[in-house]
Amino acid sequence: MDAAPNCAICNAPAYPECPCESERLQIAVKQAEKRAMDARLDEIRDWVISHARQHILNAFERLTSSRKQAHATYLSSLPNYAIYMQYSGHPPIHPAYIAQLQAQISEAHAELKRGIDADWRASVLRYPEVLDYFYGLVSLRLPDERSPRVLEPPFAVAGYMDKGYGKEHKKKKRRDSSAAPDRMYSAVAERLRGPPSAPTPPIQSSGYRPPMYGY
Ligand SMILES: [Zn+2]
């Protein structure tokens, strides 16, 4: 006689395996992940974005400030620039010199603008690399497998897992066709150990019991 329990969801025989349980498990995992991770991911994302943005802005600032410096140095090196500035653009020199100087200044300003645009583009294009860097500084670590909190979760200590697991209870449940929660969990865990017929979430199966479902 086959002792494998029927599907906990639709009560179909264990073989051929139906996809209900792994589908429900996937949903439960997604929901648990959302509860556990969403707020932390939001916090991490905000942190990474603000640091990446600040780094990009600082780098851009450095690039443009040296470019502006070079621009100012170039302007002051132009012939007649000092007197041109001194007379606020109307120096007492031949108009041809003024026209030539104005053309040089205008070209230098255009060149500065092109340079700043290029600096900004270059800075912004580094976002993927900079985001990778700051995400890389965030640590999300799994607990030690030998940690008591892993080996003895509080709900197990409180008897949660043992509830309905006694011999009397087991006999009763066997006659009862309704699936006991713990039977259902171990059935699901059991199935996850074998080659799944439906895609299952990536779960360490050894000693693992799926969390309580939300249905
Ligand atoms: Zn089913």
Dihedral sign computed on CA atoms, order 55, 56, 59, 65: negative
Q: Where are the domains of the chain?
A: 20-140+150-193
Q: How far is the CA of 102 from the centre of ligand 1 (A)?
A: 83
| Better-predicted residue by pLDDT, 41 or 193 | 41
Q: What average pLDDT does range 56-72 have in this prediction?
A: 96
Phi, psi for 20 (deg, rounded to 5): -50, -50
Taking CA 66 as the corner, what is the angle to CA 65 and CA 72, rounded to the nearest 5 degrees?
90
Q: How far is the CA of 3 from the centre of ligand 1 (A)?
A: 17
For residue range 79-89, what is the model confidence (pLDDT) as tens digits? Answer: 999 999 999 99
Phi, psi for 173 (deg, rounded to 5): -65, -30
For residue range 142-152, what is the model confidence (pLDDT) as tens digits? Answer: 999 999 999 98
Q: What average pLDDT does range 142-163 have in this prediction?
A: 78
Q: What average pLDDT does range 65-88 have in this prediction?
A: 95
What's the pLDDT at 4? Answer: 86
Dihedral sign computed on CA atoms, order 148, 152, 154, 159: negative
Q: What average pLDDT does range 5-21 have in this prediction?
A: 88
Using pLDDT thresholds of 50, 70 and 90, give the confidence band for residue 17. Answer: confident
What's the pLDDT at 74? Answer: 97
Average pLDDT over all residues of the chain? 80
What's the pLDDT at 116? Answer: 97
| Better-predicted residue by pLDDT, 21 or 207 | 21
Q: How far is the CA of 21 from the centre of ligand 1 (A)?
A: 6
Q: What average pLDDT does range 99-113 have in this prediction?
A: 96
Using pLDDT thresholds of 50, 70 and 90, give the confidence band for residue 158. Answer: low
What's the pLDDT at 106? Answer: 97
Axis crossing angle, helix 127-136 with helix 20-77, rounded to the nearest 10? 120
Query: Does residue 130 have a pLDDT over 50?
Result: yes
| Better-predicted residue by pLDDT, 203 or 113 | 113
Which residues hold their Cβ within 5 A of ligand 1, which is an ion? Answer: 7, 9-10, 12, 18, 20
Between CA 18 and CA 24 the distance in angstroms is 12
Query: Does residue 192 have a pLDDT over 60?
Result: no
Query: Does residue 204 have a pLDDT over 70?
Result: no
Q: Do the beta carbons of residue 161 and residue 209 sit within 8 Å?
A: yes
b/e string for 155-175 if b means 16 or more Cβ within 10 A? eeeeeeeeeeeeeeeeeebee
Q: What average pLDDT does range 116-122 have in this prediction?
A: 96
Q: How far is the CA of 76 from the centre of ligand 1 (A)?
A: 82
**Spacing of C-alpha 147 from chain mean position:** 27
| Better-predicted residue by pLDDT, 90 or 212 | 90
Dihedral sign computed on CA atoms, order 205, 211, 212, 215: negative
